[in-house]
Amino acid sequence: MRIQPRHQILDIWRAVLATAYQDSAWSWGGRDDSNSISDAEQLLCLLYPATEIDTLTLDRADSTGADVRRALRPLGDTSQLPRALLEIVELYLRRYTAEDGEPIFSSGRYVSTDDPNGVSVEQSDLHIVDAYSMSVTLCLATLGFLEVYEPPPRRVDLRRRIEFVREAMSRRLTDSMVGLLRSFVVQTTKPDEVAGRAILSMINVSGVPEQVVLERLRRQLARVRSRLRDDIRIGLSPDLKNRLDDDSLLFECGWTWGIAENAEPIDFVADLKINKRQGCAEDRPYLYFTVVALDGINDLVSSRTRELGLLNDEQRRLADALQIRWDMTQRYWSTVARFGDQMWPLENIPWRTSDDEESDYFSLLVSAVLVQDLQQRRATDDDLTRAVQVFEELARRGRITSRVTRGDRAIALHEPGVKMSLRGADLLGPPLYRNVADFAPLLLKRSLQAAGLSQNVHARDRLMLVAESTMDHLSRRRLRTGSAAAGLWDDPVEVLAPYATGESDQRPSWYITERVVEGLVAATKAFDGLPLRSGAQVDHALQLLSEADHLLNREMMTADADDQSAMQAGLLQIEGRLTRARRILNDRPGTAAALAMDALRQLDGLAVADSDATRSM
């Protein structure tokens, strides 16, 4: 189906309000019950598009479109909309801020255990990276909204509330950034250890001698290793430098599931409680949490954050530290994904992680990091063409573009999702795990981002086909009419039928819904750029323009200069059309060619009329 981000986001907004805003009161919770992550995702379904897409802005009454006002009518008229949103954000903050001002990052049912006794008291207070990353996005969206919104000058009470929200969100942002910093890890391993063997088996697609692979990998990752060793000085264990000095060790970098077991406090935020929390997360990068963290930091280092001046001095220092980690992590995984001279390791689906687990979902996560890295650097045609093949294969293997079969293991990608053990949490109670089921929304977002990068017409068309097929798949997973949350996500039973098991849960999954919204925002950004054009298109349009110009000049030579007839008006119209075609020739050669063709048709009509008139004399 055609992706129409504005129309589809407005439909989601209507469904969100129909579900969560009854009798002028906001209702929290959904399929995963109420927790700091799910409730932030619920809010971001409204706030994220409103702060990322100019045509959906809500902070300036004079810029709010009529269709936007209709979609959000339950919140009030144009002047009431910002205040209603402010009130909902205020509710969130009061819900997830302790009496001493400490932000609460509860994970609720986003972590699970198979133990019949449930999680322990200590485990109930664990934070996961989702909570930090989602809070970064929510805080920046809210602070950006407040930076633009101007309340009525006489509303002193409203200004006080705005100040409370601004201060609480800024504090939450700082804590989230500290949490992300202390969740970043670098794992080192010997080539003959379990993790080392798994890494080498994944990247050595061509089967070349191990020493050749090690030497080539050492050279390609030398800059990453050097910057990790010399530029990252806060939040990591003191022995990291020594370990990275040893070139014989393999390494990985990224984010573990929460504050790492060896995480050090950050000296310039020493008073924050989150800076003193004892971490227990395994000192090994998880691909899922790495992608989640990178997404949050991407919002942190965006031009919008910089232009609006949303960070204070302390936060800018934290942001600089996170940006180094963001950059090095993308560079590391992009290098590993494309390692070698022939077949990429990324093309060798499924991806195997250093703990020797493999899944098509891990291949999609590595693809996500690769696309983010290519956004920061100049992507080559070869990079994107090969990435297209990966996305097409993942769409097929994930049953986006192929049918479900009996006993199909691909069903688990969508329901119940990929199960990831939170190693280290078992020191505080029973084993915990995190189920993630965002394969389809993630494929939608990353294929659209890759399409926005592509300068190859055929590659872009194939990526858009993947994205449209994924959107069609997701549209069939919306909760149906009759459900209180109709129009939201997620009901995969129809897509997975006839082999799906279990009953449909008609409560909304804010986790899936928010990620669909992220995909639609990515679509808007992909469509905002200029259409692709080639030299052949420009040459063709130029040839048409040259012929049309010549014929127009010939007609004007024979036309009566004082004539005010419809014929003279037609010639002036043709001249204007050709002038516009020349103005847009380089940016939109296809449109320029269409204008030239239209002009040629009109000129031919005039030539036929002249010929008929001559014969009748």
Instruction: Report yes or no: 180 and 297 within 8 Å, Cβ to Cβ.
Output: yes
- Averaged pLDDT for residues 540-566: 75
pLDDT-derived band at 26 (thresholds 50, 70, 90) equals very high
| Cβ 513 vs Cβ 31: under 8 Å | no
Q: How confident is the model at residue 363 (pLDDT cuts 50, 70, 90)?
A: very high
Q: What is the arithmetic mean of pLDDT over 520-543?
A: 81
In 246-399, where does DSSP find H-type helix? Answer: 287-300, 303-308, 313-337, 360-376, 381-397
If one compares 105 and 540, the residue with the highest pLDDT of the two is 105
* Interior/surface letters 445-480, b for 16+ CB within 10 angstroms, e for the rest: bbbbbbbbbbebeebbebbbbbbbbbbebbeebbbe
CA distance 351 to 360: 7
Gap between the Cα atoms of 478 and 262, Å rounded: 42
Residue 563: pLDDT band (50, 70, 90) is: low
Q: Is the pLDDT of residue 483 over 80?
A: no
> Model confidence over 416-427: pLDDT tens digits?
999 999 999 999
Q: What angle do CA 228, 230, 233 make, to 5 degrees?
A: 80
| Of the candidates 249, 220, 446, the residue with the CA atom closest to the CA atom of residue 331 | 220
Mean pLDDT of the chain: 89
More confident residue, 172 or 238: 172
Please report, for the chain, how many H helices and E strands are present, in that order.
23, 8
Q: What mean pLDDT is predicted for residues 498-503? A: 60
> Which pLDDT score, from 0 to 100, does residue 330 have?
96
> What span, in angstroms and rounded, lies between the C-alpha atoms of 448 and 463?
7
pLDDT, mean of residues 387-403:
95
The b/e string for 290-312 (b: 16+ C-beta within 10 A; e otherwise) is bbbbbbbbbbbeeeebeebebbe
Peptide bond into 531 cis (omega under 30): no
Q: How confident is the model at residue 544 (pLDDT cuts 50, 70, 90)?
A: confident
Interatomic CA distance for residues 549 and 292, integer angstroms = 55
**Per-residue pLDDT, 609:** 65
Under 8 Å between Cβ of 488 and 19:
yes
Q: How far apart are CA 458 and CA 153, in angstroms?
A: 54
pLDDT of amino acid 65 = 85
Instruction: Name the phi and psi angles at 515, rounded to 5.
Output: -75, -30
**Count of alpha carbons within 13 Å of 25, Cβ hemisphere only?**
3
* Model confidence pTM above 0.85: yes
Residue type, 448: L
Residues 145 and 51: their CA atoms lie apart, in Å, by 7
Give me the residue spans of the domains in the chain. Answer: 5-528, 535-616
> Residue 499 pLDDT > 70, yes or no?
no
pLDDT at 382: 76
Interacting residues of 304 by C-beta distance below 8 A, sequence separation 6+: 51, 52, 144
pLDDT band per the 50, 70, 90 thresholds, residue 528: confident
Residue 165 has pLDDT above 70, yes or no: yes
Q: 26 by DSSP, 3-state: which?
A: strand
What does the pLDDT read at residue 533?
65
CB under 8 Å to 293, separation ≥6 — which residues?
129, 132, 133, 180, 183, 184, 254, 255
pLDDT at 242 over 90: no
Token pair 């939450």: residue:
172
Residue type, 512: I
According to the 3-state scheme, what is the secondary structure of 46-60? HHHHHHHCHHHCCCC
pLDDT at position 487 is 93
Q: Is the pLDDT of residue 362 over 70?
A: yes
Q: Which CATH architecture has domain 5-528?
A: Alpha/alpha barrel (1.50)
Strand partners, 189: 250
Please name the residue ranges forming H helices in 338-380: 360-376
Cis peptide bond prior to 416, omega within 30° of 0: yes
- Residue type for 524, please? T
pLDDT digits (tens, 9 = 90+) for 406-454: 888 899 999 899 999 999 999 999 999 999 999 999 999 999 999 988 8
Instruction: Report whether 250 contacts 189 (CB < 8 A).
Output: yes
Quick one: which H or E segment has residue 184?
A: strand 184-189
More confident residue, 424 or 79: 424
User: What's residue 527's pLDDT?
Assistant: 87
**Vertex 126 angle, CA 265 and 355, to 5°:** 85
Q: Which of 164-168, 354-358, 596-600 has the lowest mean pLDDT?
A: 596-600
Q: State percent of the chain over pLDDT 70.
A: 93
Q: Which of 312, 349, 329, 308 is closest to 129 using CA atoms?
A: 329
Which ranges constitute the DSSP H helices of 490-534?
493-496, 510-528
Which phi and psi angles does 152 have, rounded to 5°? -55, 135
Is 90 exceeded by the pLDDT of residue 335?
A: yes
> What does the CA dihedral 379, 383, 385, 390 come to, rounded to 10 degrees?
-120
Query: Quick one: average pLDDT of 235-250?
Result: 84
In the structure, what pLDDT confidence band is assigned to residue 608 with cuts at 50, 70 and 90? Answer: low
